[in-house]
Structure 1
């Protein structure tokens, strides 16, 4: 159960880091590497050594006693070395009482080789998840509970359908479109029920997301995006499944899924408002209703576009500071694959959101007009 909670949490934080055992054909068959939870009992020694050839470079070694809290060696204590390079991106400097993730190389012939691979973070993330779910239910009531259910279903679709299908070699763009459609259908029918409002919101959302996906594909091909602008994408070349990924397709599928949330929000907002207008004023003409829906969309459009662009900008702040510190020219920045990818991601997502507005407004107006005609025919 705990494993599924951690997977669920990872989805919300947009951190999907599946942990798998790594096996190498060059290793002895009697050896394997496992992960286990551990706790630092004592820091026995903390020494800093200067590199003889480079006095500015210092290496630090900690000698620590750790207790294994899970796995084959649960309950056993070991004294191990924890080597630090001076790079905070890779170093795991520990103190007494820290809970850590241990990498254990178990050999039938020798004592296990144990090293510290990371801090234990999941319990704090689970606490944050519990706070999030509790607030949703306390403040949102029944709708909050429905939100929790739909978020859970979204996580299941991504973790157990979308990612496995891509990992099996299926086209990532089509897999993302199918996943986005499933998420949209399930979410709107649970939140809004089986009615005109939900159906028209689905039409607008799917239309906006598909348009964003098509536009991303066209523009991405024209500007020759590689999809290899991240370290994780490069690492996919060496996974044990030996799949030949379409990295550009992976990029576009990420844009589709990244756009989905904002487009769903604007689709439901417009459909719901138009539905309420029709209920309050049954005599309103389809033309006026559609005009009202477009006006509502215009009001929401600015803030939602800002939401997408600020989200992508926020994740790129270190990169932007790096460019600024070296006075990099705007022309060079715009032509970098990494920056072009982020710009395409932000702008295509915003365009998909904008396109969803008229699609939702016109589809809602058309569907409500048909519903009115049906009611009139029944009355006559």
Structure 2
């Protein structure tokens, strides 16, 4: 599917898919300061120019971060500049086509969920679709329109909680206990992150993407600190929901097996399960945030950067607050959900 063209003052830009038909390579002279020049013949596969054959020059400078060497048969994304007055257009190779294999991987994921989960797997896919719809059709447009990031994210998180638990487990007491426990756990994580983040003066502008939001065409004035905390809330949501349902389900199963158990014994059973989950889920959150920062951590290690310098960087402090606040919210979800689940049993 072709992307909607962007209109500039003198030309219209398109982003389309193309297939590489042939490549002729030339090794430049040393004074040209490039390592290789490819004359690439392309067939455009999508959009207004679909089916047309064109040529472009693909220059490789030896910098593997930015260059895109291509071979015959490759599918690539091309940036097209169309000049309406003359009818001419210029094509540049902008990236590789990656979506085909991503769709295959997504299909394999759905197949695994259905094969192993059966009807529960189907419910999982439904809730995943609802979650993605809420994020991309409600949350992001609301943020782009200038609504309060924290308020809209808390609202979306609670809706995701309710819908997920009710679709997967039905209208049962264990679902209600998990909804309340997970919602409180996420809110605790958000309050902690906001409080500590304000105390340590986090800006929310530690990433390049946040800075780019200053120049978007919509002209929205963002509260970057609140945007950062909304990200923390969403990041903690999945793990907190997992823990809340595990505790609530464990207490429900124990109660079904022995309805005569007192509240204290039910609570102890829930806490036993929670303590087992706590270590692995805490690692999940910490490792998820650490994994995204490995290149930066390697740079710090390579240059023997002092710990005091590292921990006081806005970017690092943000990730630390993010991971610790999320983990604390997860840990506190265990007793909160256990108390609520036991209370709903009325023993």
Q: Is the contact between residue 201 and residue 360 of structure 1 (CA under 8 Å) also seen in structure 2?
A: yes
User: What is the CA–CA distance in structure 1 between the aligned matches of 2:31 and 2:345, rounded to whole Å?
Assistant: 76
The equivalent residue for 1:312 is 289
Q: 1:42 aligns with which of 22, 25, 31?
A: 22
Q: Note closer, same or farther for the CA distance 1:48–1:105 as it changes in structure 2 (3 Å cut).
A: same
- Which of 75, 94, 108 is matched with 1:99 structurally? 75
Residues 20/228 of structure 1: CA separation in 2 closer, same or farther (3 Å cut): farther
Structure 2 CA distance, aligned partners of 1:256 and 1:177? 7
Per-residue CA deviations over 1:37-96 (Å, capped at 9, x if unaligned) read 1000000233344346xxxx5353211100001111111100111123332222111111
Checking the alignment, whether the CA contact within 8 Å between 1:105 and 1:112 is kept in structure 2 is: yes
Could you list the runs of 5+ residues in structure 1 that have no partner in the other structure?
A: 4-18, 373-380
1:234 to 211, 216, 226: 211
Please point out which of 167, 177, 190 is paired with 1:213.
Answer: 190
Superposed CA deviations along residues 255-313 of structure 1, whole A, max 9, x for unmatched, are 00000000000000000000011111111111221122122111111110001101111
| Residues 91-123 of structure 1 deviation map (CA, whole Å, 9 limit, x = unaligned) | 111111100011111112142011111100000
- In structure 2, the CA distance between the partners of 1:330 and 1:99, relative to structure 1 (3 Å rule), is same
Q: Secondary structure at the match of 1:128?
A: helix
1:62 equivalent to 2:38? Answer: yes
- Do the aligned partners of 2:34 and 2:59 also contact (CA within 8 Å) in 1? no
CA–CA separation in structure 1 for the residues paired with 2:302 and 2:29:
32
Residue 365 and residue 154 in structure 1: after superposition, are their counterparts in 2 closer, same or farther (change >3 A)?
same
Please, which of 221, 245, 267 is the counterpart of residue 268 of structure 1?
245
Q: Which residue does 1:193 correspond to in 2?
A: 170
Q: Does residue 1:112 correspond to 2:92, yes or no?
A: no
Partners of 2:292 and 2:25 in 1: how far apart? 38
Structure 1 residue 329, shift from structure 2 partner? 0.4
Q: Is the 8 A contact 2:34 2:60 kept in 1?
A: no
Partner of 2:64: 88
TM-score with structure 1 setting the length? 0.88
Provide the alpha-carbon RMSD of the alignment.
Answer: 1.5
Partner of 1:72: 48
Contact 1:204–1:356 at 8 Å: present in 2 too? yes
Which residue in 2 is equivalent to 1:325? 302
Q: Is the 8 A contact 1:40 1:100 kept in 2?
A: yes
Which of residues 136, 141, 146 in structure 2 aligns to 1:159?
136
**TM-score if structure 2 supplies the norm length?**
0.96
Q: Distance in 1 between matches of 2:236 and 2:28?
A: 48
Shift of residue 231, structure 1, vs aligned partner: 1.2
Residue 168 (structure 1) aligns with? 145
Q: Give the number of aligned pairs.
A: 346
C-alpha distance in 2 between matches for 1:23 and 1:248: 32
161 and 113 in structure 1: CA distance in 2 versus 1, 3 angstrom threshold: same
1:338–1:23 distance in 2 versus 1, CA, 3 Å? farther
Structure 1 contact 43–96 (Cα < 8 Å) conserved? yes
Q: Write the deviation string for residues 121-172 of structure 1: whole angstroms up to 9, x where unpaired.
A: 0000000000000010001111111111111111101010100100000011
